Homo-oligomer: A and B are copies of this chain.
Amino acid sequence: MKQISIHPFDNAVSLQGENGRYTGNTSSHYANMIGPFGGITVATLLHAILRHPECQGEPLSATFNFAAPVADGEFEVVVRNSRTNRSTQHWTMELRQDDTIVMTGTAVLAARRDTYSSTEVDMPTVPKYENLKTMTTAALPNWTKNYIFRVVEGDLTSLTNKDADSFGQSETITWISEASPRPLDFLSLIAICDTFFPRVFIKRKKIVPVGTVSMTVQFHTSSEVLKANGNSPVLGKARASRFNNGFFDQTAEIWSETGELFATTSQVVYFKN
Contact of A120 among B100, B115, B241 (CB under 8 A): B241
Does more than half of chain A's interface fall in helix, strand or loop, or is it mixed?
A: strand
Cβ B121 vs Cβ A241 within 8 A: yes
Cβ B268 vs Cβ A61 within 8 A: yes
Interface size on A, residues (CB 8 A): 68
A101 within 8 Å of B (CB atoms): yes
Residue from A68, A82, A170 having most chain B Cβ neighbours under 10 A: A82
| Complex Cα gap A111–B246 (Å) | 9
Shortest C-beta distance, A228 to chain B (Å), equals 15
A144 within 8 Å of B (CB atoms): no
A150 within 8 Å of B (CB atoms): no
A179 within 8 Å of B (CB atoms): no
A11 within 8 Å of B (CB atoms): no
Cβ A115 vs Cβ B170 within 8 A: no
A197 within 8 Å of B (CB atoms): no
Cβ B120 vs Cβ A170 within 8 A: yes
| Complex Cα gap A104–B82 (Å) | 8
Chain B residue with the shortest CB-CB distance to A63? B63
Question: A264 to chain B: which residues have CB within 8 Å?
Answer: 241-242, 249, 251, 266
CB within 8 Å of B: which A191-210 residues? 199-200, 203-204
